[in-house]
Amino acid sequence: MKKFFLIILFLPFLIRANAQSITGTPEWGKLIDALEKENWQDAGKLSSMLLKKMPDSAPDDPVASVLRYMYIHSEAGLMNMNKLTKEEAIKHVAQFRGKFIVLPGHPVSTKEGFNTIQMVNGKTDSLFITATNNDGTSIFSFEYIVLKEKWPSDDFKNSEGKTYKVAGIIKSITVEGMAFPRFKIIVEQGLYQPFD
């Protein structure tokens, strides 16, 4: 099964948010295909091109917020494959600091694991995701989400295995790791919502 860029995970959110016509373009379909096939070069180019078509007047637009994450994830893939240096990768994504971002859907988990939403230090005021490639063999980013409002602990635990989407404002993006570089992304004003 493909990891988390399946169009099924993105479309429910985008449709409810009155998505721009950009999601109906051939380029959008090619972008989803490139992400599923882990063709990071094409995914990076397509997400960047589509972002440039978005109006500057809509910084919180949900489509732009998803595209930002797609671009960051693509850059992480290229960096992990040594097709980009750490310096090049961070230079490409630095423009997103202070911007709203929507992360792909992940299942909630009370245990450590890849591509799951976890508590930080046993508390639910912050969340943590280890984002990887489809096979879970390469770590692309450590994502820390500081929530705007604490997720009640019992509700979090009762949501085990359910898929949620998380969003917020990028506070910082840095690069960690020597042999296997990855992004460390801190998101603030975090929001969470179940996929219906």
What length does the chain have? 196
Tokens 């671009």 identify what position? 71
Q: Is the pTM of the predicted complex or chain greater than 0.75?
A: yes
C-beta separation of 54 from 19 below 8 A: no
Q: pLDDT tens per residue, the chain (196 residues)? A: 344 443 334 444 444 443 447 888 999 999 999 999 999 999 999 999 999 988 765 667 889 999 999 999 999 999 999 999 999 999 999 999 999 999 999 999 999 999 999 999 999 999 999 999 999 999 999 999 999 999 999 999 999 999 999 999 999 999 999 889 999 999 999 999 998 6
Contact 133, 115 (CB under 8 A): no
CA distance 27 to 32: 9
- Residue 1's identity, in one-letter code, is M
**Residue ranges per domain, the chain?**
7-194
Neighbours of 121 (CB within 10 A): 7
